[in-house]
Amino acid sequence: MKAPELGIRIGRYEHGRRNSIADLGVRVGHSTLIEGDDIRTGVTVLLPPVENPYRERLFAGVYTFNGFSKPIGFTQIEELGYIETPVALTSTLNGYKVADALVTLWAEENPKAVSVNPVVMECNDGYLNDNRKRPVGEMHVFEAVKKASLDFQEGSVGAGTGMSAFEFKGGIGSSSRVVEIGGEEYTVASLVLSNFGKREDLMIAGAPVGWELRDYPGRGLSMGGSISIVLATDAPLSSRQLTRLARRAVLGLARTGSYGHHGSGDIVLAFSTAQTVPGGKEVQSIGFLPDDALNRLFMGAADSTEEAIINSLLQARTMRGRKGRIRYALPVERVIEILERYGRLERD
């Protein structure tokens, strides 16, 4: 169950119909690898709602909060302000193989093109997974693309298979918010790959859940960890404005208990589905909202990211991995009891 279904309300705005990045038409697919005692990894691919991302480029912006990370493709986005491939999430050392697979997909669909900028974001799942084996290959990326759907699983799946968050089982989570600006409704949504945090730091809806659960079993190798965040919106924004939006996701991250520890890679990609980047050599025109109209989108980005992180915990399942290590699922009944005690639940 996601946070709203349990009575956990984050922020003032309502979520979209699916309460996920799929509310923007973004399809998500996973390939999950669970092999033997030490392979717990995978890949997750996000397909923007265009037929060919290379020919129908979407405006984008990126932000690096803490740079202990190895994203692929961020430099060109910073320079040119658009994405031109699907976006992939995976384990750190699989990133280069996943990027190569995205190039293969691009080459098949664009036989006359000569260069491309694949986008891959990563977190290190080495607590449960032997990431040195790098098992994710082309076939797994192709599988994730083939399975991509508006109705996708969250939690311990795809890139989230081996991830940990607050010394519980982490992984994939998503949420959306609908805001009104100038009489028009716009949606902003977040999808996260959560793999960070110390147990006692976990906050849910402002309650110190992690501190209350600090003695719950399964602790160990509590590191700074990392998180990869993808924001999507149907609001017409320029690449500069999308970079501003990406920065606000970190506010939602902070509210869950992140302090940006040394060794943490906290990175954000934001893109808009509202319009494609014009082509041709003549002067082009695009539309975008004025900067002073963006506050509600900023709030939506922070709130949807905060909830997406909580959703990644709520939907992950207990998993045993390398060296017999276990990451337990967040004990939902205990969490509900704590939130009720702190007056943080909304009941019908």
Radius of gyration of the chain (CA): 19
CB-based burial label for 108 (10 Å; 0-12, 13-18, 19+): exposed
Q: 3-class DSSP state for residue 302? A: helix
**Residue among 266, 272, 304, 312 flagged as catalytic:** 266
**Residue among 226, 239, 258, 304 flagged as catalytic:** 226
**158 neighbors 30 (Cβ within 8 angstroms):** yes
**Residue among 156, 174, 258, 264 flagged as catalytic:** 264
Give yes or no: 164 in active site. no
190's tokens: 């977040």
- With residue 185 as reference, give the H or E element that holds it: strand 184-196
Pairing of strands 265-276, 225-233: parallel
Residue spans of beta strands (DSSP E) within 219-318:
225-233, 265-276
Give yes or no: 201 in active site. no
CB-based burial label for 305 (10 Å; 0-12, 13-18, 19+): buried
Give yes or no: 264 in active site. yes
Give the active site residues: 226, 264, 266
